[in-house]
Structure 1
Amino acid sequence: MFEHFFQCPYCWEEISVLLDPSIRRQTYIEDCENCCNPIEFTVSFQDGELLEFAAENIEQ
């Protein structure tokens, strides 16, 4: 597993997520551990290296 730190698009707190580099491309939704708002993650890896990471708010 790969721990990645980022800033929540809602509350702007720095939080972390655990990413699985064995899955090359991932898109999923997970709640912020601080403010509980849903965040859409887009992640891609190549040869175990993180190529893309996006954490976007979900307009509700």
Structure 2
Amino acid sequence: RRPQLLVLLKLDEELRATQPQLLALAAQLQAGKGLTVVGSVIPGDLPQDQPRARAAEQV
């Protein structure tokens, strides 16, 4: 079986992960195998904050 991980990250105002070590830990746990899904919740109004949400997708 291949491991599957869900990593929820908090982003700062500049859309950077506040704890990037969680991604490093996820990579070590999986040893290059399996699936990792990374997500974050960005508060706001989607129509108004859509450019910010799109920018966060690229992080």
TM-score (norm 2): 0.28
Which of 1 and 2 has higher RCO (CA within 8 Å, sep 6+)? Answer: 2
Higher fraction of strand = 1
Question: Greater CA radius of gyration, 1 or 2?
Answer: 2
Higher fraction of helix = 2
TM-score (norm 1): 0.28
